[in-house]
Amino acid sequence: MRVLIPSPLRDYTRAAWVEAQGATLGEVLADLDRQYPGIRFRMIDEQDRTRRHMRFFVRGEPIFELSTPLAPNDELLIVQALSGG
């Protein structure tokens, strides 16, 4: 599936769009980490929870669970939220 990588993580991929495989969000992120070592840790913490500034979208809907099933023809959009005051 096609995966949109947010600008702050493109140092890993050197591209805005990359390809990854997996039947769930967790598997897709694991495949991204196999291809681009270290990228998963920037999105998922040590307790396997999404870091608070990361968001995942498929078919315009937010995904919150790593076990969420994905179809091979889906596009995964990874968004890094901005914060500040």
Domains and CATH numbers, the chain: 2-80 (3.10.20.30)
Model pTM above 0.85: yes
User: Look-up: residue for tokens 């493109």?
Assistant: 10
Could you list the mean pLDDT of each consecutive 10-residue stretch along the chain, which spans 85 residues? 96 98 98 98 96 95 96 96 66
Instruction: Give the whole-angstrom CA distance, residue 39 versus residue 73.
Output: 22
> DSSP per residue over 4-38, as a string?
EPPGGGHHHHSSSEEE---SBHHHHHHHHHHHSTT
Instruction: Determine the pLDDT at residue 83.
Output: 63
Instruction: Determine the pLDDT at residue 81.
Output: 82
Q: How far is CA 1 from CA 42, 46, 50, 57, in A?
A: 20, 25, 20, 13
